[in-house]
Amino acid sequence: MATADRAATTSQAEMAPRTVNETVVRRIFEAFARRDAFALRGLFAPDAVWTVPGDGAMAGVYRGPEAIFRFLGRLPKETDGTYRSQLVDVLASDGRAAALYHASGERRGKRLDLDQVLLFRLEDGAVREVLALPSDPAAFEEFWAR
């Protein structure tokens, strides 16, 4: 095998976890957009944790796939079906990914219209941790106020 061929093979092997992690994150956004909870099964580790900072109605630490699925299912319910998340980009490495997306919706006479980042830690093709980071924490808190 030529040196260039070996380098290309090594590079592709090193990129595989990144590709897997990016694909997992994109699949989560696609399933959420379709409101297909079944498509989320298998994408989260049994001990996965999703953290939403703040004091609002959606703030909290959601442990395990079932709690995470209930949390995700509440988003459209809390907004009378208006909540949307439009994926802008995914950056992935061997064990992490960051998803930039635009969140919008209406709730109790208030409008949400901001960019957010989800930071993921992944292992063996499954999500272990997610941390939500709104670009405007004050607007996020006001929208989700109890």
Tell me what pLDDT residue 50 has. Answer: 98
pTM, whole model, 2 decimals? 0.86
User: SS3 of 44, please?
Assistant: strand
Q: For residue 117, list its beta bridge partners.
A: 100, 133
pLDDT at 59 over 50: yes
Domain count, the chain: 1
Between CA 6 and CA 2 the distance in angstroms is 6
List the CATH number of the domain containing 49. 3.10.450.50
Helices (DSSP H) in the chain: which residue ranges?
Answer: 3-34, 65-78, 137-143
pLDDT at 38 over 90: no
**Which pLDDT tens digit goes with each residue over 61-109?**
999 999 999 999 999 999 999 999 999 999 999 999 999 999 999 999 9
Q: Quote the Cα angle for 113-29-126, to 5°.
A: 135
Q: Domain residues for 130? A: 3-143
Answer for the pair 65, 44: CB distance below 8 angstroms, yes or no: yes
142: left (phi over 0), alpha (psi -120 to 50) or beta: alpha
List phi, psi (to 5°) of 47. Answer: -110, 25
Residue 16: closest CA among 112, 83, 95: 95
